[in-house]
Structure 1
Amino acid sequence: MRLTQLRSFHAVATTGSFTAAAQSLHVSQPTITTQVGQLEELHKVELFHRTGKRVLPTEMGQRLLHLSRQIFSLEAEALQLLRESGELRTGHLRVAAVGPAQVTTMLAAFHQHYPGIKVSVSTGNSQEVLGRLTDYSADVGVLAHVESDRRFVSIPYSDHPVVIFCSTQHRFAKRRVICIEELAGEKLILRETGSTTRKALELALKNAGVETHVVMEVTSREIIREAVAQGLGIAAVSEVEFIPGPGLHAVRLEGAQVRTHVHMVCLSERRDMRMVQAFFDVVGREP
């Protein structure tokens, strides 16, 4: 197998077409087609399903893509190391985060120190963020909690209280603070299982012996906000993530330590990568 063949395969798998792959590598489409074909013929495997203009990796293609991402990520690191011997002046940092609220301040601080570094951000739940780290499609993750796992390095960044928000027609709407016991019997709209905000609230309710009624489980923050505004129930959110809006009101919880935490995470093997190290150094100094 030649590296050019693997590069052609990787380009097709990531762009979704032979034409786009050729454009990205600045070669002709027949060249890409030939190199991928040679790779398949040499190893007697099928790497893509070709249906009209659609090109989708086969199961073997997906497994090879996982490895090619690692290879070309390491290649990019090597090139960056060779090109730059001083400060980081160019490059690309890929950040995956569970939400915009946690990461915005971090990115502002990093950009102030390294204005020449391009930063791209993707969002998803905790498992999706960790998945992007493990498949090398993200360099740094920003999420609420990481179970003990030797594959990752997790560094605490901040923590925030959880607040309850309701519609402006709810009985809590004229309150600033409530006791957790007052949630008894309330209709709750919760995030999906695995949400750290949900875990924190459910643990506090259990410790307080308070029973509620879960009416919805929703993965979308936007849908939860709309459902609450329409009076379908109340919901919990990290205070830093609550965005005031028409029809919504937030109250703090008194008498219970319900908090969420923000962590910076990377693969253990990439902890000393210059870009990751720079991000941790800069962001770690922020309050």
Structure 2
Amino acid sequence: MEIRQLRHFMAVVAHGSFTAAARAELIVQSALSTSVRNLERELGAQLFDRTGRRVVPTEAGVALVPAARAVLAGTEAARDAVSSVSGLRTGRVRVGTIQTLTCVDLAAELAAFHRLRPGVQISLREATTPDLIESVRAGELDLAYLAPDAAGLPEGLTAFATWHEELVLITAPGHPLAGAGRTLIRDLADEPFVDFRAGTGLETAVRRLAAHCGLERRITCDVTQIRLLVDLVRAGIGVAIVPRRIGEDAGLPCVGISQPEPGRTVVLVGRSPAPRNPAAGALLEMLAGDADTSGEPLRGEGP
């Protein structure tokens, strides 16, 4: 049974003749008659009484009308749903981010997108870089902000935009280094550190920086939330290396680090060169607009 056959059947019901129904369906009468006969053959019942001046449904035809109407209505609803998503009147976009994202005001960006596309639902998830990578690969996320390690972007992902974040040392107010302006990595050898738990993007970047400079940090406390890390530094339990904006927003002393001047790269990634989800494609245009233009974006192998 085909949708087309049901549509032709309902046209005959509505117009009372095969001639009028064919005219309404913009096909020749013989083609419409053949379509209805094939439907009758499939169902094993005659659907119309063709003996009078007006074609009327048989009992079997009357029984088919509500079911055919429901099927055709469902087909139209399906078309409308796809059209709505394609036209971004509805839909859903899933975005992942590292917890310490500071190079983008993601809340403001998503709010601006919502004003443009109020019918699109936004799902936002915070996770570590390894978790975000796997979620994008698995198709659970359309887009994700992550901080890849020194090896660069893993295969199977495409980078749409990159940003550079400066890392600074934050201390408690009154700490001997609070007013230093800048410091050398080697001068931090005796400092206790507060750090993120191993596996997070920031912890990886700081650990790589310390190893590069030969610094063996003494970790007094490790955490999983940036707010708690800031509070512990403020309380004097240790110093920490974080993106500058985190320290400035917290109102803590931010000390620049020399030799080398540290930073990390944040990348907006997806699974394919162009998002298959129309809502994700529209959001990507907005999110990638503020990216750094000083360097080439990282690119992994396609799926």
Query: Aligned pair in 2 of structure 1 residues 105, 142: CA closer, same or farther (>3 Å)?
Result: farther
Q: Residues of 1 paired with 2:247 and 2:81: CA distance?
A: 41
Number of residue pairs aligned between Structure 1 and Structure 2: 209
Match of 1:139 in 2: 142
Q: Residues of 1 paired with 2:200 and 2:85: CA distance?
A: 42
Match of 1:260 in 2: 264
Letter in 2 for 1:117: V
Report the CA distance between 1:86 and its aligned residue.
6.4
Match of 2:287 in 1: 283
Bigger Rg over Cα:
2
Report the CA distance between 1:211 and its aligned residue.
3.3
Q: Residues of 1 paired with 2:240 and 2:224: CA distance?
A: 12
Q: Is the 1:177–1:251 Cα contact (8 Å) retained in structure 2?
A: yes
Matches within 5 A, 1:190-201: 190-201=195-206
Match of 1:181 among 167, 179, 186: 186
Match of 2:255 among 247, 251, 254: 251
Q: Is the 2:146–2:201 Cα contact (8 Å) retained in structure 1?
A: no
Q: Is the 1:196–1:260 Cα contact (8 Å) retained in structure 2?
A: no
Match of 2:120 in 1: 117
Match of 2:276 among 267, 272, 275: 272
Query: Aligned pair in 2 of structure 1 residues 85, 196: CA closer, same or farther (>3 Å)?
Result: closer
Letter in 2 for 1:124: A
Query: Aligned pair in 2 of structure 1 residues 131, 79: CA closer, same or farther (>3 Å)?
Result: farther
SS in 1 for 2:290: coil
TM, length-normalised to structure 2: 0.59
Matches within 5 A, 1:168-247: 168-242=173-247, 244-245=249-250
Q: Is the 2:142–2:275 Cα contact (8 Å) retained in structure 1?
A: no
Letter in 1 for 2:229: I
Q: Residues of 2 paired with 1:235 and 1:80: CA distance?
A: 53
Q: Is the 1:89–1:117 Cα contact (8 Å) retained in structure 2?
A: yes
Structure 1 segments unaligned to the other structure (5+ residues) = 1-77
Q: Is the 1:270–1:276 Cα contact (8 Å) retained in structure 2?
A: no
Q: Residues of 2 paired with 1:181 and 1:219: CA distance?
A: 26
Q: Is the 1:133–1:267 Cα contact (8 Å) retained in structure 2?
A: yes
Query: For each residue in 1:117-154, what CA deviation from the matched residue of structure 2 results, as whole angstroms up to 9, or x when unmatched?
Result: 33231212223323433444432111122754333222
Report the CA distance between 1:80 and its aligned residue.
8.3
Letter in 2 for 1:132: S
Q: Percent identity?
A: 20
Letter in 1 for 2:146: L
Query: Aligned pair in 2 of structure 1 residues 219, 186: CA closer, same or farther (>3 Å)?
Result: same
SS in 1 for 2:167: strand
Letter in 1 for 2:200: S
Query: Aligned pair in 2 of structure 1 residues 177, 108: CA closer, same or farther (>3 Å)?
Result: farther
Q: Residues of 1 paired with 2:170 and 2:115: CA distance?
A: 34
Q: Is the 2:178–2:253 Cα contact (8 Å) retained in structure 1?
A: yes
SS in 1 for 2:168: strand
Report the CA distance between 1:108 and its aligned residue.
4.5
TM, length-normalised to structure 1: 0.62
Match of 1:159 in 2: 164
CA RMSD of aligned residues (A): 2.9
Q: Is the 1:185–1:211 Cα contact (8 Å) retained in structure 2?
A: no
